[in-house]
Amino acid sequence: MPLLRRLAACLAACLVLAPAAQAWGPLGHSVVAALAQRQLSPAAEAEVERLLAPDHTRSLAEVANWADQIQDDPAQAALWQQTRPDHYINFHDPHCRYVPARDCRDGRCVVAALQHYVAVLGDRRQPDVARREALKFVVHFVGDIHQPLHAGYRDDKGGNTYQVQFEGKGSNLHRVWDSGMLETRGLDWQRYAQALQTSSPVALPAPIAPLDNPYAQWAEESCRFTAEPGFYPAGHTITPAYVQAELPLADQRLREAGRRLADVLNRTL
């Protein structure tokens, strides 16, 4: 086979073999973490630095994708299988009301995962190794819960089974929201975070009941965005007009996630 054809075939194989994304893609998670890092209190910043020291980093952005990366590490196979359902929640009605017994059976959903890992992170009697792991899960899951399709209500696995055409190729709506739409800006995570930070300060939606479970509120907000007219694209096609209309919402969710992640860490550490 000529070299160019061989390269093209190899590239096509790599694309097919790439694992399905489980989250905002790496770009989205790193942006959320970078936005949060700049809003940490000195005490929280110091504790983050101490907890992450064995990983030779102090950067939340550098550990923001660990919860997805463990799926490729045979040594972490059990942890990955155990935490797989912690990345999302599937609501069961278009009003997006959180009913734990129905929407979070056996506590396996992103709302319960955040409750659990924030508690571990804030418990100074826990060993550092457990609190370090909890920190990485919290950074990741606060991102996921703000990705509207990680908290959808339709029977389509958060848009994973909703096929779409995007940039002339087949994709699905979940992937477009995880990564495809964000990547149209052509920015790396540092520049993306910078761009979002220099636009106006983020005003958070007002807390609603149940006030003891803000994570349920964040998931319900995400769900309601997926129920808005136009969120599911007409004709299963992601047009430039769709990106123009929906990318500002994706950016808003990244900024809200960054601000809320900082609030959680400032309160917990």
Strands 237-238 and 169-172: unpaired
**Using CB under 6 A, which of 30, 39, 65, 90 touches ligand ADE?**
90
From 41-49, 121-129, 154-162, 257-265, give the range in contact with ligand ADE by CB under 6 A.
154-162
CA angle, residues 201, 254, 214, in degrees to nearest 5: 90
Instruction: Count residues binding Zn ion (CB under 5 A).
Output: 5
Q: In terms of Cα–Cα distance, which of 195, 196, 154 is closest to 174?
A: 154
Number of residues counted as binding ligand ADE (CB under 6 A): 9
**C-alpha 10 chain-centroid distance:** 30
Strand order in the sheet with 169-172: 169-172, 163-166, 237-238
* Residue placing its CB nearer to Zn ion in the complex, 178 or 220: 178
Judged by CB under 6 A, which of 50, 97, 157, 236 binds ligand ADE?
157
Do 146 and 251 form a contact (C-beta atoms < 8 A)? no
Give the nearest distance from C-beta 20 to ligand ADE in angstroms: 8
Bridge partners (DSSP) of residue 165 are 170, 237
The interface partner of residue 152, options being ligand ADE, Zn ion, none and the CB cut-off 5 to 8 Å by kind, is ligand ADE
Query: Is residue 88 near ligand ADE by the rule CB under 6 A?
Result: yes
Instruction: Give the interface segment with Zn ion, choosing from 80-88, 106-114, 195-203, 213-221 (CB under 5 A).
Output: 80-88
Q: Which of 45, 86, 144, 156 binds Zn ion (CB under 5 A)?
A: 144
Alpha carbon distance 244, 128 (integer Å): 44
Closest C-alpha to 181, from 167, 195, 168:
167
Closer by beta carbon to Zn ion, 47 or else 140: 140
Q: Which residues bind ligand ADE (CB under 6 A)?
A: 87-88, 90, 149-150, 152, 157-158, 160
